[in-house]
Amino acid sequence: MTQVIRSGAFLQQCWSVHPLCVTVKRITEENAVVLLCSSCKSAHHLSIATVTSIASSTQQVAGDAALREEPPGEDYLKACAAAHAASLTLREMDVFQDLVRLRCADCRRLYELTVSEFETRQR
């Protein structure tokens, strides 16, 4: 039987102990991001309230992002996860503000996720 823990503290502890082992596995239809840890064999499910996509500074200068209309952050994140999920990494998190930041090395975007619920499933 799988133990389910509903707290962001477990993801934060897991990531602080072995940050290179936590990877983005998939984005579900229920708008949740699933992170897996290869070291402790935990699956961290993050129910997402909002996603903000932030272009790198070079992309903003080249494309002048302030003048054009951008699609919602959820669309960018889903497309990024489908195209190059292996390049998405957890960069920062704050359980007090329910905030997680993912970065994609390929498209050089930062994704700021407001989490409505943290859930860790240990095998």
Q: What is the pLDDT of residues 11-44, one digit of tens each?
A: 999 999 999 999 999 999 999 999 999 999 999 9
**pLDDT higher than 90, residue 57:** no
Percent of the chain whose pLDDT exceeds 90: 71
**Are 25 and 13 within 8 A, CB to CB?**
no
Domain range enclosing 85: 3-122
The residue with greater pLDDT, 11 or 70, is: 11
Domain count, the chain: 1
Rounded CA separation 33/114 (Å): 11
pTM of the model: 0.84
3-state secondary structure 49-109: EEEEEECCHHHHHHHCCCCCCCCCHHHHHHHHHHHHHHHEEEEEEECCCCEEEEEECCCCC
